[in-house]
Structure formats: structure tokens, C-alpha cells
Amino acid sequence: MDFNLSDAVRGRIRKILPEATMLRHQLHASPETKFEEHQTMALVRGFLSGGKIELLEPMLGTDTIGLLRGEKPGQTVLLRSEIDALSLDDVSGKPWSSKYPGKAHACGHDGHMAMLLAAARVLEQSTDELAGNVRFVFQPAEEEIGGGKAMVGKGLLDIVPRADVAFSLHGWSGLGPGIVSCAPGVAMSAADSFVVKVRGKGGHGGMPHKAADPIIAAAQAISALQTLVSRSVDPLEPVVVSVCSISGGHSRNVIPGEVTFEGTVRYFNKDLRAFIRDKMDSILRGTCSAGACSHSLEFIEGYIPLVNDGKAVQVARAIAIAVLGADFWTDSHPHSMGAEDFSYYLDKVPGCLLRLGLGVQWPSLHNPEFDFNDSVLESGITLLVALALGYGKA
């Protein structure tokens, strides 16, 4: 493609890089979890205020939505960053490590925010080269709750001018530093959760024949649930059923009356949701009744699969190669059983979630030792700016 960034725009990116790094460290040191991101929102809104970017009132209390209008007609590109942190300790040992015990930016959202804020400032200084508009979204509660689903449900994508395409950039451990990857189709899984209660009849541990043991029934049920994957689903359809928590009983010699276990379900084909839920219920009913127990299943629908649009990926690929170089793009984009609520944006608007490599041996996401790699900030800012300036020209 003929598109590339002007020398003026590249100069602005280089100029803002020290400030973007400082912002990233400031955000990393002050992590806030889902729907509590008040200081974070204040920083974001303060950075974006006072210039050409039009800010809307928050939809969910801690989000920030902005619009930058170009000086030429064109399409509207939505760029999104998450803003929330995780509930875990930061043991990275960096001078800018978390000030708050039990809270850490261990999924890179501090880096995502810093890159998008810097890109917004560069674009604000480059409206003479912008054909169309840029919608900036700084979204709360990506982890666990799904702030993206809530914002889409409240009409984010219906705000005029409506987004023609949506992009998000996510730091990715295991991928070479500064390398960008994406591929069309399903990229990340759906994520549902479940809570199962197995109810029996408590009794003396030495007289199990007088009880209906929910521990045995639960153990049989947990094992039997794995046959859902191995015997009930097409082997070519990836599905994960994981029991991650179990509790029941408080004494060595008392059979409890109830056992509770919880877990997660992951899959790429969203049409499998109802089948998996119903099959789980059937398996639980059979195994529990065999042990003279009953059960209840709470199946909690979570994120839907994230599906990248083919045209959006093609355009992003061309833009990335043009501004970063062919060595910094790879079509290798393995599916992930992780989940992302950007899936709700892409369910309504064409777009894609791009991965930005942090390093092949970089600590994994959601690891207490994780810290964003500052050396890739420039590549991320460059790509975000280029997606806004180049989308209509690709």
C-alpha cells in the first residue's frame, strides 16, 4: 500500500515517548480494579481535556469516551483500551510497582492506556492528516465482569458518528518484542462459569451406609464432566471444562450434607453454549442420582468468542507492515483459551484485536511478576496512530 506516516507525525511520536513511559509507570503504580477506577479515570480525562477531543459523560461511572474530528471527510475508527487492574500482588520489584497490596496491572492495561493516550495526543496534533474521526474508548472492568458488554449494551456503538471499524491492541507475552500479530476468524474463546451444589444426607464417617455421601457423588460428577469434552463434542471443536474450586465438610469423621464445586467452560463456537449447559446438567443428574444425591447447576454466561473480521485484519496487516516493517508482522496467531470482552464490540462492528509482542521469554499475563515492556511502547503508539490515519486509505 502507498500509505505511510509523515515525518511530522513520526517526530511527534518520538517526542511524546518519554511522557508515555512516565504515564505508564504512574498507571502501573496506582492500579484500580473493576468499576473502582476513579483515579485512573481522572488521569485519563485530565490528559485528554482542554484540546480538540470531545469527551462524553461516563456510561458506567469510570469510563472515558472521546471523539477527535479530522479536517477531511472519512470513516470513524474506534480505538479501545482497558483500564482496570487485577486482584493480585505485584512482585515485579520495579520502582513503579503497585502501591496497593492485592492489586496489580498484571495484564498490561497500564501499557495499553499509555499507548492510546499518547496516540490520542499525536492524532490531536495531526488533524490536518486525519480523514474522518477517531473514537477513543477507555473501558473499565474488562477482567471478570465484562465492562465492554455493558458499554455496548448501553449504546456505545450507536453514538454518532458511529464507528465503522474497531481496533484494540493487547500486549502479548511469548511473542517477540514489537512484533504484531493477528489473523481472521476466532482468536479467543468464550468464557462461561458454573456453580454446582451436590446435596446428600450427612452422617458418621464410620457409618457411610446410613448417609448419602455428596463427596463421592461430586467426585464422580467431576470425573464424568470430562466425558462431555471427550465423548459428546466433535473432536475438531476445542472445548475446556475445568473445575477450579471445591468445598464441603469441616470434620474428619463427619460426612457433610452438601458439596459445592465451581469452574469455567471455554469454547470457540458460540453455538455450543446451550449444548454444553444442557449436557452438564444431564451428566450431573445421572451421577448424583446414582449416589442418592440431588444437584443444582448455576450456569453463568460470560464472554462470547472473539472473532476478528477478515477485511479489518487485512487492512491492519498492510498498515503495520507499512509503518513498522515486514519483520514486525506475523500471520502466526494461535488461538487462545483466554477471553476478552472486546468480543462484544466485534460482534457488532468489523474490527480486530491485535497482539503486540512483549518478548518471547517475558513473564506471562496475570503473573505477579508481570510488568509491561517499555521498549515496545513506541511500536504500539505508532501502530495506533497509523490505524487511525491510514484505515480509509488502505
Q: Residue 273 falls within a domain, yes or no?
A: yes
Judge if 53 and 104 occupy the same domain.
yes
Look at residues 303, 324, 352 and tell me which one is the last residue of a structural domain.
Answer: 303
Judge if 194 and 183 occupy the same domain.
no
Could you give the 3-state DSSP secondary structure of residue 391? Answer: helix
Per-residue confidence band for 303, with pLDDT thresholds at 50, 70 and 90:
very high
For the chain, the domain total comes to: 2
Q: Are 110 and 29 in contact (CB under 8 A)?
A: no
Backbone angles phi, psi at 320, to 5 degrees: -60, -45
List the 190-199 sheet strands across, edge first: 239-247, 258-267, 190-199, 294-303
pLDDT tens, position by position, 237-267: 999 999 999 999 999 999 999 999 999 999 9
pLDDT tens, position by position, 162-207: 999 999 999 999 999 999 999 999 999 999 999 999 999 999 999 9
The kind and range of the H/E element at 79 are strand 72-82
Residue 29: how many other CB atoms lie within 10 Å: 17
The average pLDDT across 334-362 equals 97
Provide the grid cell at 110: 497500564
Higher-confidence residue of 284 and 394: namely 284
The pLDDT of residue 120 is above 80 = yes
Judge if 268 and 336 occupy the same domain.
no
Judge if 195 and 156 occupy the same domain.
no
Backbone angles phi, psi at 181, to 5 degrees: -135, 150
pLDDT tens, position by position, 352-364: 999 999 999 999 9
Which amino acid does the sequence have at 322? A
CATH number at residue 372: 3.40.630.10
The average pLDDT across 279-284 equals 98
Q: What positions carry a catalytic annotation?
A: 84, 142
Per-residue confidence band for 394, with pLDDT thresholds at 50, 70 and 90:
low
The average pLDDT across 74-92 equals 97
Judge if 172 and 47 occupy the same domain.
yes
Backbone angles phi, psi at 12, to 5 degrees: -65, -35
Phi-psi domain of 50 (left: phi exceeds 0; alpha: psi -120 through 50; beta: other): left
The average pLDDT across 126-147 equals 95
Please tell me the predicted confidence (pLDDT) of residue 357: 98
How are the residues of the chain apportioned to helix, strand and coil, as percentages rounded to the nearest 5? 40, 25, 35
Provide the grid cell at 351: 474490527
Look at residues 237, 270, 303 and tell me which one is the last residue of a structural domain.
Answer: 303
Q: Cis omega before residue 161 (within 30°)? A: yes
Judge if 182 and 198 occupy the same domain.
no
Judge if 274 and 361 occupy the same domain.
no
Residue 231: how many other CB atoms lie within 10 Å: 8
94 alpha-carbon distance from chain centroid: 24
CA 42/CA 47 separation, integer angstroms:
8
Q: Are 267 and 171 in contact (CB under 8 A)?
A: no
Alpha-carbon Rg for the chain in angstroms: 24
pLDDT tens, position by position, 17-55: 999 999 999 999 999 999 999 999 999 999 999 999 999
Q: Residue 1 falls within a domain, yes or no?
A: no
The percent of residues in the chain predicted with pLDDT above 70, rounded, is 99
Domain interval for residue 272: 190-303
Q: Are 165 and 350 in contact (CB under 8 A)?
A: yes
The pLDDT of residue 304 is above 80 = yes
Look at residues 303, 334, 360 and tell me which one is the last residue of a structural domain.
Answer: 303
Per-residue confidence band for 369, with pLDDT thresholds at 50, 70 and 90:
very high
CATH number at residue 208: 3.30.70.360
Judge if 109 and 55 occupy the same domain.
yes
The kind and range of the H/E element at 199 are strand 190-199
